[in-house]
Structure 1
C-alpha cells in the first residue's frame, strides 16, 4: 500500500508542476508554441500518410491543437474527437461543424455524430493529451483514466502520440499497472518515438 501511495503522491506532484509551468506561459509563448506544434503535428501526419486521426479540443492549460485541427480539415483528413461517457469512458465523435457543448468535468466537447464503440481503433494515428510523458514512452494523464481505459479496450491499437510541451518530457514518470504507454510524443520542437 505504501508504494501505491508514493506513486499517487509523485503523480500529483508532477501534475502540479506541469500545471504551474503551463500557467506561467505568456500569451505570446502560447501562440508561438501553438504554431510550432501545428507544424510538428502536420509533419507527423504527413510522414505516416495518415488520412484519419484522433485529436482533442484543448483546455486552456493544454498544448493548443486548434491550428492543427484547421490544417487537417483543410486537407480532408478525418478527425475524431473524444466525448465523455458514463463510467469514465470515452466515446468518439465525428464533428459536424455546428459548435461545441459543455461535457463532463467542464471540458468543451464537439457536436456531431457519436460513432460506434471501437471506431477509434480504425484511425491511422491517435493524438492524445497528457500532463507528461517519459523517455520510455510512459504517459501520465490527468488522473481520471479516460484515455488509459480507452487504449486498454482497443482490439486494434493505432500508433498513439502524447501531445505535450517540451518541458513535459521527463526522464521518468511513475506508473501503475493500468497506465498505458504511448508510441511517441509531439512537442512544439520535436516528434519523439519511443521503444
Structure 2
C-alpha cells in the first residue's frame, strides 16, 4: 500500500496538470450529483469549504445553497487555547464575509460572519487530498477535520467531493480517521 506522503505527492501532480476548463467541467458534474442526494435536499445548514489550487470547485454548491434558502457555513482554522481548530462560521455574502487567510485561501471574517453551532450542521462537505472506495480520506496532514468531525451531531452527513483521480482502492487509515458517508466524483457516488 502507498504511504500518505506518496499519495499526497501523486495527487498534487495530477491537480497541477489539470486544466481550468477540466476542473470547472468536472466540478459542475460533481455539484450536480451532490445536490440530487436526498440527504443534501433535506439539509438546512450545510458546511462547505472554499476550494484552492485545483480542488473541486465549491462555488456552484455554495451558490445553489444561497439560492435555495440553505444556510452556508464555512471553516476558519483558528487557534483556541493554543490549539488550532476548525471553527464553523455562517456566511451570508461571500464578498463581505470572506477574506484571504492562511495560504491565500478565502475564509470567514470574524468581524462580519458569525460562529455557527457545530451541532446545528446537517451536512459537511469535507475537503481531502485522496479518498478510497471504503469512503476513508487523506487530508492535508494537520488533522483539523478529523477533530472537527468528532464534534458534529451523530446524524450529520459527511461527504467528500473529489475528482476521479483522487480515488484509490485502499489508502492508509489510522485509528482517529473518520470515514465519510459518501464520496462523490464526476463519475460516481461511492
Q: Above 0.5 in TM-score?
A: yes
Correspondence 1:149-164 to 2 at 5 A? 149-154=147-152, 156=154, 158-164=156-162
The answer for the alignment partner of 1:91 in structure 2 is 87
Given that 1:134 and 1:169 are in contact with CA atoms closer than 8 Å, whether structure 2 keeps it comes out as yes
Q: Are 1:53 and 2:46 an aligned pair?
A: yes
1:130 aligns with one of 107, 110, 128 = 128
Could you give the per-residue CA deviations for residues 89-118 of structure 1, whole angstroms, max 9, x where no partner exists?
0101111311421223432203343325xx
Distance 1:13 1:186 in 2: 23
Given that 1:89 and 1:150 are in contact with CA atoms closer than 8 Å, whether structure 2 keeps it comes out as yes
Correspondence 1:42-81 to 2 at 5 A? 42-44=35-37, 48-81=41-74
Number of matched pairs? 183
Structure 1: segments with no counterpart, 5+ residues: 1-6
Q: Secondary structure of the equivalent of 1:53?
A: strand
The answer for the alignment partner of 1:104 in structure 2 is 102
1:24 aligns with one of 17, 30, 42 = 17
Given that 1:138 and 1:180 are in contact with CA atoms closer than 8 Å, whether structure 2 keeps it comes out as yes
Distance 1:186 1:121 in 2: 24
Given that 2:130 and 2:137 are in contact with CA atoms closer than 8 Å, whether structure 1 keeps it comes out as yes
The answer for the alignment partner of 1:169 in structure 2 is 167
Give the alignment's TM-score, normalised by structure 1: 0.85
CA RMSD of aligned residues (A): 2.0
Q: Secondary structure of the equivalent of 1:72?
A: helix
- The 4+ residue runs of structure 1 with deviation greater than 4 A are 45-48
Q: CA deviation at 1:189?
A: 2.5
Given that 2:72 and 2:92 are in contact with CA atoms closer than 8 Å, whether structure 1 keeps it comes out as no
Q: CA deviation at 1:155?
A: 5.0
1:34 aligns with one of 27, 36, 39 = 27
Q: CA deviation at 1:148?
A: 0.6
Could you give the per-residue CA deviations for residues 6-42 of structure 1, whole angstroms, max 9, x where no partner exists?
x9x8101001111111111112211211221221121
Bigger mean CA deviation after superposition, 31-40 or 142-151: 31-40
